Every structure is written in C-alpha cells, then in structure tokens.
Structure 1
Amino acid sequence: MRLAELAAALNLEPPAQEDATIEVRGATHQADWATTGDVFVAIRGARVDGHTFIADAVARGAVAVLGEGLPDGATCPVPYLRVAGARAALADAATVLAGRPSHELTVLGVTGTDGKTTTSALARHLLRAAGRPTGLLSTIGYELPDGVLRQPPTHFTTPEAPQVQQILRQMVDAGASDAVVEASSHALALDRVRGVDFDVAIWTNLTGEHLDFHGTMEQYFADKALLVQRARHAVLNLDDPWTERLVPMAAEHVTYSADGAPADWWASDVVEGTDDLRFTVHAPAGETTAVLPMIGRFNVANALAAMAGAHAVGVGLPELVAGLATFAGVPGRMEMTEHVAGDPRVIVDFAHTPPSLEKALETVRVTTEGRLWVVMGSAGGPRDPSKRAPLGEVATRLADVAVFTEEDHRDTPLEEILQEMERGAREAGRTNFRSIGDRREAIRHAVAEAAPQDTVVLAGKGPETTLERDTETIGWDEMAEAREALSRRRHP
C-alpha cells in the first residue's frame, strides 16, 4: 500500500507529493521490531517517548512515522504524519495494512476477570465441532483452523494491535470462517483489539484485579465494557452484579446463569463427578442434558457462555451438546495429572485471585474424600498487592492445609509477599499453613505429605511457561513439576 493510500484510509493529511508513492508494508511501535517498509508509530508512554527511537526504526527499514507531534527541535528523516492518538493510529494502520481481516470472519470476543480462557477454548471447540473452521487467539497462544497451538512474539494476554491483525489475517488465509478472541482489559484499554469487528461479546464476570493498571473498579469495568459496546450481540452473565449496568450498553443481548437465575440460558440438576460435570441446559431452543468432561462447578457457567455465544452465530442446541461432550479441556485450568493407585489427586489450576481461588477450592472440595491441600503464591512487582492477604485467608479457610510459596515475585522481596499471605490467615484465626519459598520444594512437600485420598491443588501458574524471580526469568512447567513430585513420592 502506498503511503498516500494509508493516509487517506486513516483520514490524515496527505504526505508531500514526493512521498506519496512510498510503499508501506506493515506497522509497529517497537523500533527493534521494525522491518523494511514499516511505518513506525511513536507512542508517548508514561516513562518513555517513542520519538526517541525514530532513528533506530528508520535504520531497520521504517519508511514513515506516525505520531502526535515531533518534540520541539526534533527532526524526522522520513515522512512524519501527525495523528490525534498514537495508539489508535497503530491499531488503525495495522488493520488497514492487514486488509481488515475481521470483516472476513465471524468473531466472538470473550472478556471478564475469570473464565476467559476456558470460555474461549470452549467456544472455539463448539464451533469446530459444528464443522466451522475456527481460529483462536487466547492467553495460551493462538490457533489456526488446523488446531496447532502457536505462540505470538509477545507475552501479553492479547498481543499488540499489529500482531492481532496479522494473526487474524493468517486465520483468513488458512480458511477460517470464525475466530474466538480473548480480550483482556489491557487489550481493550490500550486499543490492541481496536479494528476487530466483533460479532458477539461474551462477558464472564468482574472482580478486583489489575487495579495497579486501571486504578479503580469503575475504570476496570469501563475498559472491559468496551467489548460489549462494540459488539453486535452480547452474552451476559446474569449471576454477575455488573451485568445490570451492561444491559443498556448492548445493541442486543442474551443472558446466562449457572445459579438457576431466570436467564435465557441456565443450568439445573448439576452433578459433579470426579472427572466430569452433568447438568440440564435450559435454552431458548429447549432443554436437554449435557455432559462436560471437566471438573469445577464454575465451568458450568463457562459452558453456558460458550454455548450461548456459538448459538448466537448459528450453531444449534443438539450440535452444542454433542460438541460439549468431546471437549478435551484447557491446559492449566483444572487439569489433573494421570492418577495412579496410592497417589493423591493433583490438579493444576490458574486460579490467582481470591474469588477464582475460592471457586476452585470449593469445587474440588466436593469430590475430595480426604484432606484438601493448596500450594499457591501471589505476584509481586507492580501487580495488585491488595489481594495477597485475602488469598491467604481464602486458602486457609477452604483448604485443610495451605502451602504459601512464590509466584512471579519479580522485584518484590518474596518474604514480604509470604508475610502478607500469612497475615491474612492469622487475622482470620488460622494456623493451617506453612511457607516454603521455593515453588518446586513447596509442590514436592505437599505431594509427599498428602494421603492417597487427598487432593492437592497447585494454584496460580496454570499453563505459564516461565517463573519470574527478582530480575531472573526461568523456564517453568507446573504440570511437569507435579508429575516429578508424584514420581519422587513413588520412588523416594
């Protein structure tokens, strides 16, 4: 695309005549990602001004710059086009240069504090089971219709706008008719999914998290609500108190409830087995019995959300129920190790907020014959520190034994985090905990001490592949650590 065409598509002042025919191939806001033919978008951040890196971007092949205005006295060696908002311009340029791929897809977006990844994976599975080639962009990576999990070049829940658009273009080129996109609050607030044409918005819930970024619950809600406002149709959780405020924002909507509330989609007669959930689905098209091969009662809500979302784009109730029964689960979400006689049941789960940990432990308790153990920590660095003491309280209230340990403590002293979790337990009058700073040792301790009828929940890391200790980032595989701990138990 020529620079003049890009400027016209973005409603910008046209470049000088001698620059009009410059060919633009892509967009980036990271100078070290720039390649030949890119337009570099200079974003002014809280600490760093992207204009500082213009020379680096040009040296790597950038042919033009978009920005909100050059700093006083600064010059630009390539054409500079002024924009009202740099982040919005990054997304808009990336969308145009990728050929607006979401216009060629039916797109389901999923947002909420808890359940996004499982609901996204369920929706993708239900669409594929109905014969629709579907892509997925989620926390765990992205998939084209071939189902192979790939990793984007960035470690965000949702990648930056250029990567989002490139991945959607890959989906289209691979023959996808549908896409499921997990939209985090950061992605919505920072315009990473701007330019994505959402057909359906699925809302799971809203609880306190990421307040270090959003500042207040009101702002957190406002940022997440953008998905509902942008979509043609919304699927809203009637069990979430924030939904009442979402209804007026939706162009059209349906509701769902796992608690039997009078919703469009609701569940009754829930039976929790040791390896599946059985329940009756009540839907606008009728009612039927469903089986979901997952544990965790809260997954009934995720299943209803995914079913309602897939139904909104044309999948019938019989197909939805048939697809649900063949779902293979999500790595790191209530994922169980292979069980061997004499071993405790060990479950890896991503629960890392007080509400999600509460849900996880309450659910596992139902099918635990002996004691319930939990191994968990709380993130450090700029992450919300207010949840550390509540995590300690929830863990010791709902588990028989809690082992506090590390979980990406970054530059926060680990002892400080452990003390906060211990404080939450002690202030609630509980002593059923101990702290073991090294996560590997904590896991091995819990697995070794648990009885065969016990359940050990490893919470907080789920499918993540790294563990951050101070300034060091090491490779991590929670499921592999669980299996090694069980092996050591069998062969001490």
Structure 2
Amino acid sequence: MTLKELFAPLGQEAPPLPVRGLTQDSRRVEPGFVFVAVPGVPLPHRRPLDGHAFIPEALRRGAIAVVGEQDLTLPVPYARVADSRQALALLARRFYGEPDRALRLFGVTGSKGKSTTAFLLHHLLEEAALLSTVGLRLGGEARPPIGHFTTPEAPEVYAFLREAADRGLREAVLEVSSHALALKRVEGLTFRVGVFVNFYPDDHLDFHGTPEAYFNAKTLLVERSDLAVLNTSLTHLERLRQRPHLLFGPGGEVWAEGVREEEGLRFTLHTPWGKGEVHLPLIGAHNVENALAASAAALAAGVPLEKVLERLSGFPGVPGRMEVVQEKPFRVVIDFAHTGKSLEAALRTLRPTTQGRLLLVVGAAGERDPRRREDIGRVAARLADKAFFTEEDHRTEDLGAILEAMARAAAAEGGRFELVPDREEAILKAILEAQEGDTVLLAGKGHEATLERGQEALPWNEREVALKALRLRAKAEGSSPREGGA
C-alpha cells in the first residue's frame, strides 16, 4: 500500500511512497513506517507520556509520515487528526486490508474469567484464531502473547487478524479488555457474538475513575456485536438487553443444574438446543460460569450441542489459570490471581480440596492502584494459612514499600506471613515448607513470560521456577518430583 492510498480517507494529500508498516511506538519505527503520535494515558501513579514528544526519534528511525493531534510542521507528510487513537485503529485496518471482513469475530469481555472463556470458546469452535492475555492460537498453532496487554494495540490486532485470514481461518476469538475498548484498540471491528462474562465494579478504577465509566467501556463490546451473550447477574442487564441477546446463568436460556466437583466439574447443561451432561476437567465451581458463557456463544454460532459436550470434556485447560504443576504428595498450583477479589476466589476454590494447609506465594504490581496491595494482604491473611509476600512486576516503584503495605494489611488481620523479596526464593521457601496434603498456590504471574524489575523485563516462567524448586526439594530428599495436571 502507498502513503497516498493510506492517507486518502483522512483527506490528506500524500506522495505514492510505499508504506512498510505503522506504529504508535517510536522504538518500533523502521524505514518506510508511518508513526502515529498518541497522547499518553493519565494515571494516578505517573505522568503520561505523549507520543508527540517522540516524533523526532521516529523521524531519525526512518518514518516517512506522521499522524498526530497537534499543529505541527514536519519535513515529512503530516496528517493532523482530532483523535490519534481512532486514527491508529482505522489506519491499521486499512493497511492490513480489512481482514475482519473475512472472519467471524467473537469478543469476550468481563472482569474475571475472560481468558478461560476465550480459550474455551476457541476450543469449541475448533479451527479458529485466538487473541488473548495468555497467548495466541492460529488454529492449533500456539504462540506467546503480544506484550503485557490483554488486548494489544490496534496495529498488532489487525496484523494478527490478517494472518488468520491469510491462513484460511474463518473465525477469530478476541479477549477484549475494558482498556482496549476505552483506548480504541479494537475500533472498526464488528463482532458476530460479544460475550460479557461478569462485572465487578471495583476493578481498574485507577484507569476508569468510576464503576460507571468502567461498565460503560465494557458495554461498547455489546454495542458492536450482532448478538450479545450476557450473564444474568450483570449490572444494568435491562439496558444491555436492548440488543439481540442470549442469557446464561440462573434464570437464563443457558444454565447449569446439579454442579458437583468430581475430578473436575460435572453438571447438566440446559440450552434452547437441548440438554446434556458435561464433564469439564477444570478446578473450581466458578469455571461453570465460564463454560456456560463459551457454550452459549458456540451454540449461537451453530456448533451442535453434541460437539459442545464432547469438546468440553476434552478441554486441556489454560496455562497459568489454576494450572496444577504437582498433585501429590502436596499440590502446587499456578494462577494469575493478582487482585484481592481474584485471589479470594482462587483461595476459596482450593480450600475444599486441600487436606492440609494452604500456602500462598503472592505479590502486588507496582504502578497500579495502591489499594490492590492492601486488598491482597488482607485476603492472604484471612484465607491462607501462611503467605510469602514477594515481587510481582514492581517496575519503578520501591519493592520494599509495596511489601510493607501488604504486611501492614495482613498484620491487621492477624495473618501469618514472611517477606521474601526475590520471587524465585519465595517459591522455593514455600515448596520446602509444604507437607503432605498441603496446597501451594503461586499467584499473580500465571502465564506471563517476563518479570518487571525497575526498567527491566526479565524472562520468567512460573512453571519452570516451580519445577526447579520441586527438583531441589526432591534432590534433598532423594526422590523425584511428580508432575501432574487437572
């Protein structure tokens, strides 16, 4: 595509130079790229960066044109727009040839369970693409996630959809965060089915400001979907039901009866297409909600009920989501729980199937809402028998101050805890302390492939760190660790 063709919808004259790519990150600019200068996002913990300040760097790296919101004179073609984020998405869609036109899109949003629901739905659809926090799938091919976001920036979204369409796939499941919707990372997309799993009003208030703004951001997915799959427990459900919809959960059209935890989850699935028995090999009754949401979306898209029942029983699970590393003699579980509410859900899920103590390794991220670390400390004190408070992407914040905030909150609840700043050491300590029948929960990192210390993003694999600790313990005891799953 030429710059003249790319800029045509903006009403901007430009020479017919070949465009090799576009980005909002000046560090990714290469010769032949278009740089889109995006204003930064103001957050309580830091001053926002402004993409306009990085235009000189983009030009040095070879940008052939710039898009921005300020009145500027530059030595390359410059398109001034009212909204750089919207322009970034629409230009990306145009540059990648509107790949969404060749795909049936399924969007999944919600406060909790987005990743599991998206993975379940992708599994039910079989030959589909998947873009999620945990990773990417192009049919059966697995790839690591793009960056640290649930939903990457618009150029990455559209590039992924282009590759999916070029591979001959006809469906794609996108895990869509409230940030992505508010920041227009999925602008221009229309979804065949939009799934709204659940809503917790106290999440992400550092970004959205109010529960109302947070909810309104998520409803954008519903508004852009031909059919909305909605949880019957959602706030303002009547407002959402103005769109064509399918309800799941108690009182809905897709619901579960007789839920029991027996080697995973078992229940009777009721739907407008019939009913059947489900065996879902996942830990935790909360996953019934995720299964209902994914099943409703798949059934609405035309997947037969028999196929849904069959594929639910063969679901391999989600990396870093209640992932069992070892079952016996004590259980080791990895989970992404990184807020007070998600940690509480994880601990309450594991307690009934833990014969001994519940040991917890957990931290709290830096440059995020400071209330999160206090919530985690309180939940750990109430629901774990002992906690090891450690690092979790403290970034440029002082790790000691984060741990002290967690410790104060835990101490006020009378909890037992240790402060172990190094995460690998904390995991080893917890595993060395575990006894037969105990459960060790490693919370907060889950699937993530980096650990952010200061300005560095260090390689990280929670499962490998846990297995290393188990090997060290086994070596000391003269035995071998037992790796398992559920």
- The within-5 A match list for 1:378-457 is 378-380=364-366, 382-428=367-413, 430-457=414-441
1:412 aligned partner, one-letter code: E
- The within-5 A match list for 1:255-274 is 255-257=247-249, 261-273=250-262
Q: Secondary structure of 1:351's match?
A: coil
Equivalent residue for 1:28?
Answer: 23
In 1, Cα distance between the equivalents of 2:426 and 2:33? 48
**Is the 1:184–1:224 contact (alpha carbons within 8 Å) kept by the matching residues of 2?**
yes
Q: Choose from 278, 296, 302 the match for 1:290.
A: 278
Task: Please tell me whether residue 233 in structure 1 is matched to residue 233 in structure 2.
Answer: no
- The within-5 A match list for 1:159-178 is 159-178=152-171
1:57 aligned partner, one-letter code: A
Shift of 1:271: 1.4
Q: Choose from 217, 220, 223 the match for 2:217.
A: 223
Task: Please tell me whether residue 68 in structure 1 is matched to residue 69 in structure 2.
Answer: yes
Q: Secondary structure of 1:291's match?
A: strand
**Is the 1:42–1:54 contact (alpha carbons within 8 Å) kept by the matching residues of 2?**
yes
**Is the 2:362–2:391 contact (alpha carbons within 8 Å) kept by the matching residues of 1?**
yes
Query: More deviation in 419-428 or 279-288?
Result: 419-428
**Is the 2:230–2:245 contact (alpha carbons within 8 Å) kept by the matching residues of 1?**
yes
Q: Choose from 296, 305, 316 the match for 1:328.
A: 316
2:454 aligned partner, one-letter code: D
Equivalent residue for 2:343?
Answer: 357
Shift of 1:461: 0.8
Equivalent residue for 2:36?
Answer: 41
Gaps of 5+ in 2: 43-47, 477-486
Query: More deviation in 174-183 or 212-221?
Result: 212-221
Shift of 1:48: 4.0
Q: Choose from 280, 295, 299 the match for 1:311.
A: 299
Calculate the aligned-residue CA RMSD, in Å.
2.0
| Alignment size in residue pairs | 469
Shift of 1:448: 1.7
In 2, Cα distance between the equivalents of 1:390 and 1:148? 34
1:179 aligned partner, one-letter code: A
**Is the 1:188–1:226 contact (alpha carbons within 8 Å) kept by the matching residues of 2?**
yes
1:271-301 CA distances to partner (integer Å, 9 max, x unpaired)?
A: 113x411111111112211011111111111
Change (3 A) 1:431 1:50: closer
Q: Choose from 332, 356, 362 the match for 1:370.
A: 356
1:120 aligned partner, one-letter code: A
In 2, Cα distance between the equivalents of 1:239 and 1:446? 37
1:352 aligned partner, one-letter code: H
Change (3 A) 1:404 1:173: same
**Is the 2:135–2:142 contact (alpha carbons within 8 Å) kept by the matching residues of 1?**
no
**Is the 2:380–2:415 contact (alpha carbons within 8 Å) kept by the matching residues of 1?**
no
Shift of 1:485: 2.0
1:213 aligned partner, one-letter code: F
- The within-5 A match list for 1:131-280 is 133-152=127-146, 154-207=147-200, 208-241=202-235, 243-248=237-242, 251-257=243-249, 261-273=250-262, 275-280=263-268
1:31-88 CA distances to partner (integer Å, 9 max, x unpaired)?
A: 33233443322223364443344344344443322222324xxx21122222221110
Change (3 A) 1:41 1:125: same
Change (3 A) 1:432 1:243: farther
In 2, Cα distance between the equivalents of 1:392 and 1:54? 42
**Is the 2:280–2:312 contact (alpha carbons within 8 Å) kept by the matching residues of 1?**
yes
In 2, Cα distance between the equivalents of 1:425 and 1:243? 36
Q: Secondary structure of 1:491's match?
A: helix
In 1, Cα distance between the equivalents of 2:279 and 2:453? 41
Shift of 1:253: 1.1
In 2, Cα distance between the equivalents of 1:481 and 1:32? 31
Gaps of 5+ in 1: none
**Is the 1:185–1:223 contact (alpha carbons within 8 Å) kept by the matching residues of 2?**
yes
Equivalent residue for 2:6?
Answer: 6
1:269 aligned partner, one-letter code: G
In 1, Cα distance between the equivalents of 2:389 and 2:70? 49
